[in-house]
Amino acid sequence: MSKLKLAIVSTHPIQYHAPLFQALALEQGIYPRVFYTWSQAAQGPQFDAGFGRAIQWDIPLLDGYEHEFVPNVSAHPSPERRDGVMNPALIPAIEAWGADAVLVYGWNLSSHLRAMRHFKGRIPVLFRGDSTLLDRQPAWRSFLRRAALNWVYRHIDVAIAVGHNSADYFRWCGIPASRIVVAPHSIDNARFSDGSGAADAQALRWRSELAIAADAPAFLFAGKFIEKKDPLLLLDAFGEIGQAAHLVFVGAGPLERSLRDRASGKPNVHFLPVQNQRAMPSVYRLGDVFVLPSRGPGESWGLALNEAMASGRAVIAGSRVGGARDLVQPTLNGWVFESANRAALSQVLRKAADCGVDGLRSMGREAKARIAGWSTQIAAARIAATVREFAALWPVTLPKH
């Protein structure tokens, strides 16, 4: 039996997507090829506004699966603009390859929506998204958004949700539950497991250099210093807990100067620059608890939670972090607090510090056990099964919205 050809439409190589594409290439009966639509990404490092610099990750993002960069002819190329990704050759390229199904990431780009509309009714159209309903909106805006999204998603056959909040969003958009499949938002868990102990050793060296005692609880924030992530709230809340603990910020971004100014004179608050991907397993082990205090809008998942948990660390997440609902089991592997509420975050930080390093490491083991169920292999298996199921039904007419 020949393999089913799955065309995947994505903007550019992303460190979180590559492991899933690699896992799909190993699935029985599935032959994926990724069509990248922001072809400028093939030219080298691209500027990342969140970090305020060009970023070149040090792990391979194009190995282990077939791919091609489709020329992007936009006058203002960008994956952040609707007209920043325009690929007249995309649909002909997918058709020439002979795709049996297409999986699209992101509909709000000109070429991606055009591909969905073109292939609907020709071959099964799958859509992968992580949007949620967590960000509050006025009633009138919510009504208009829902009407627009109902139209958009009429051009897909299956919604591939990343978790419960994502599935709720797709149902709200009018997609029947029978056409929503949850394939967990995941990372390469094995890369963070540290079987050799090298990441632990590097983390201990860092802690020593920062004068963090072995028995002192350390909280970690790693990522972009931007409003959405709310690192200033974390710094202010940490200042209220009155514990012999430490707080470490790893990253960069527009709020860095404000953070450093506000932390001036506080010897238990530390800063490290942006670290590349190979160093991240060590970064997460630098702290005893990883904190993602995001207030949004747009913190649709927070894959840093996955990485921290795979590194064996307890986690604290804001209530508007999309992945918190699925990943955080309060008091077992971490805590969830009301986003943007400094008092609530202070209370949780205090509880964590009171657990001591040993208690937090025990929670970290629970976190690592839980994240094992959120793997790229499981996600790939569910997507592959969905492709096989709907390809077998084709060209039978599918239920309408």
pLDDT digits (tens, 9 = 90+) for 141-164: 898 999 999 999 999 999 999 999
Please state the pTM of the whole predicted model.
0.92
Question: Mean of the pLDDT values across residues 237-253?
Answer: 94
pLDDT at 296 over 50: yes
Total Cβ atoms within 10 A of residue 276? 12
For strands 158-161 and 125-129, give the pairing: parallel
pLDDT at 396 over 70: no
The residues pairing with 316 across neighbouring beta strands, listed in sequence order, are: 291, 335
Q: Quote the pLDDT of residue 45.
A: 66
Question: Mean of the pLDDT values across residues 118-139?
Answer: 94
Q: Is the fold of 4-186+375-393 the same as that of 189-371?
A: yes
Q: Regarding predicted confidence, which is higher, 195 or 401?
A: 195
Neighbour order of strands in the sheet with 334-337? 269-272, 246-252, 218-224, 289-292, 314-318, 334-337
Q: What is the architecture, at CATH level 2, of domain 4-186+375-393?
A: 3-Layer(aba) Sandwich (3.40)
**pLDDT tier at 291, thresholds 50, 70, 90:** very high
Torsion on CA atoms 116, 80, 379, 4, rounded to nearest 10: 40
Class of the CATH domain delimited by 189-371: alpha beta
Question: Mean of the pLDDT values across residues 211-221?
Answer: 95
Angle at which helices 342-371 and 303-310 cross, to 10°: 60
**pLDDT tier at 129, thresholds 50, 70, 90:** very high
The residues spanned by each domain of the chain are 4-186+375-393, 189-371
